[in-house]
Amino acid sequence: MRFDKQVAIITGAASGIGRASSEILAGEGATVLAVDLDAARLDALIACIAGAGGRAEAMPADVTADGEAQRIAAHALARYGRIDVLVNAVGGSTIVANSARPIEQLSLDEWRKLVDFNLNGTFLFTAAVIPAMKQQRAGKIVNVSSIAGRGLSLVSSSAYATAKGGIIALTRKLSFELGPYGITCNAIAPGVTLTERVEPIWTARSDEQRQGVLANIPLGRVPRAEDQARVIAFLASRDADFVNGTTIDVAGGQR
């Protein structure tokens, strides 16, 4: 039980990579504070975790709203007395229509929405948990970036790539800031992943389009949320105590 008696805050927990991470950490002993805007899906997650014998609490919230991260961190400390893990899993490109458009076709409002959704929530929740982790002189922060943040996605917008590249840079910078307090900060960079949101888009593509993507993945398949969540769990565990400031590509060797 890698997370026995630990408290984990996971954003974007109601679906996709966030949900898979919540299930793994709760299944290995963590008490999970599951944060998401979708209250119905949160309730379904909590019921699933409880049915498997785990512990989780639904925390409906907009992660980009000022004050929400502080509220949830304060609740965690008041109820459980500590915060051991933060997983910043909120993100995605479908918050705007046709997000793969070139930069000259993006409006400023669309640019702001993509950056806000993918980067600002990570900043807010990280800033909210750091005081407690510093006092504990221990903690694990795991961010979700994307291979788009490395410039490796031809179908992602410049705004999405910029936000995800910002997460890679933030992760590295925080490793220097927080390492002296015993806190590690790492990230994963997924490729196309078959979550509830992405799978319908993937299946709507032609066979030729799908084969074009698969041709660039040496493992010959696209991952599911669980493939990403297993690496998140590793980075959040003691197995990764000496891994810091690293972004791991979880893309099957995609090039």
Which residues are designated catalytic? 160
Q: What are all long-range contacts of 91-95, with beta carbons under 8 Å and residues at least 24 apart?
A: 91/12, 91/117, 91/118, 91/121, 91/122, 91/144, 91/146, 91/163, 91/164, 92/117, 92/118, 92/197, 93/156, 93/157, 93/160, 94/197, 94/201
CB atoms within 10 A of CB 118: 29
The count of other CB atoms within 10 Å of the CB of residue 244 is 19
Q: Is 188 exposed, middle or buried (0-12, 13-18, 19+ CB in 10 A)?
A: buried
Q: How far is CA 145 from CA 58, 73, 215, 230, in A?
A: 24, 22, 23, 15
Query: By C-alpha distance, which of 22, 16, 77, 84 is closest to 47?
Result: 22
CA distance 33 to 13: 9
For 37, phi and psi rounded to 5 degrees?
A: -80, -20
Radius of gyration of the chain (CA): 17
